[in-house]
């Protein structure tokens, strides 16, 4: 962090109890955690009023991704350059969040594992056509347009058209939002 004059380190600690004391004393905007911190201590971090940036490998990041009771705002791979850590801290603090490219695969895998197995209809103001319903189910399974086109024997351009229609009918802007609607539908 010494390479970035807009960020400053106010404390370095080795134990969770020291972290809690330092967070109370310095009131930082962000706290950078070693991903190897034992997950059982996560409840204690819920009281820290700072964005949490977890630095670790794929295994440790995957454990932290599922924690909704703490304010994990960024996940950074331990081998990423220091500049990426600075970007992650800023994004965690401003609320946009950050996931290191080296950890995005683990995030996708965990998201798929947590996705409901039952696929229900999308609430819309206009009904989906049977083709749009087929495309929707394949989108929810995480398939790219190219793969959907291959499975349905259609052009990729046609699939993009159907995906666009489904997004409009569901009143969402992205595939991720469409997938996120699944449990509520």
For the segment 136-140, the average pLDDT, to the nearest whole number, is 87
Give the three-state DSSP class for 27: coil
- Size of the chain in residues: 185
Q: What is the pLDDT of residue 184?
A: 42
Q: Give me the percent of the chain exceeding a pLDDT of 70.
A: 77
SS3 at position 161: helix
Phi, psi of 99 (to 5 degrees): -130, 125
Higher-confidence residue of 131 and 107: namely 131
Start and end residues for every CATH 3.40.50.2300 domain found in the chain = 16-114
pLDDT tens digits, 142-184: 788 898 999 999 998 999 899 888 888 887 777 777 777 754 4
Give me the pLDDT at residue 61, please. 67
Residue 20: is it exposed, middle or buried by C-beta count within 10 angstroms (0-12/13-18/19+)?
middle
- Give the architecture-level CATH label for domain 16-114: 3-Layer(aba) Sandwich (3.40)
Question: What distance separates the 2 farthest-apart alpha carbons in the chain?
Answer: 62
Q: Is the dihedral of CA 51, 57, 58, 60 positive or negative?
A: negative
Instruction: Tell me which residue has tokens 């106010």.
Output: 10
Q: Where in the chain is the domain with CATH 1.10.10.10?
A: 130-184
The model's pLDDT over 56-86, given as tens digits with 9 standing for 90+, comes to 887 776 666 655 456 788 888 888 888 899 9
- Look up the CATH architecture of domain 130-184: Orthogonal Bundle (1.10)
pLDDT bin (cut points 50, 70, 90) of residue 88 is very high
Which of 155, 167, 157, 163 has the alpha carbon at shortest distance from 124? Answer: 167
User: Model's pTM, two decimal places?
Assistant: 0.56
pLDDT above 80: residue 95:
yes
Dihedral through CA 92, CA 94, CA 95, CA 101, nearest 10? -40
């Amino acid at each position: 962090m010494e390479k970035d004059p807009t960020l400053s380190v106010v404390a370095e600690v080795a134990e969770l109890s020291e972290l809690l004391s330092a967070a109370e004393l310095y009131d930082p905007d962000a706290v950078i955690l070693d991903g190897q911190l034992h997950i059982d201590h996560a409840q204690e971090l819920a009281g820290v009023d700072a964005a949490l940036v977890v630095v670790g490998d794929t295994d440790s990041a995957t454990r932290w991704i599922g924690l909704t009771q703490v304010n994990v705002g960024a996940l950074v791979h331990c081998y990423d350059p220091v500049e990426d850590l600075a970007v992650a801290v800023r994004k965690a603090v401003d609320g946009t969040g950050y996931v290191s490219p080296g950890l995005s695969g683990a995030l996708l895998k965990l998201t798929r594992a947590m996705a409901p197995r039952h696929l229900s209809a999308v609430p819309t103001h206009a009904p989906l056509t049977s083709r749009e319903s087929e495309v929707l189910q394949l989108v929810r399974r995480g398939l790219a347009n190219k793969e959907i086109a291959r499975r349905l024997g259609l052009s990729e351009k046609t699939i993009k058209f159907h995906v666009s229609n489904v997004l409009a009918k569901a009143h969402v802007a992205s595939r991720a939002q469409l997938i996120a609607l699944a449990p509520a539908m």
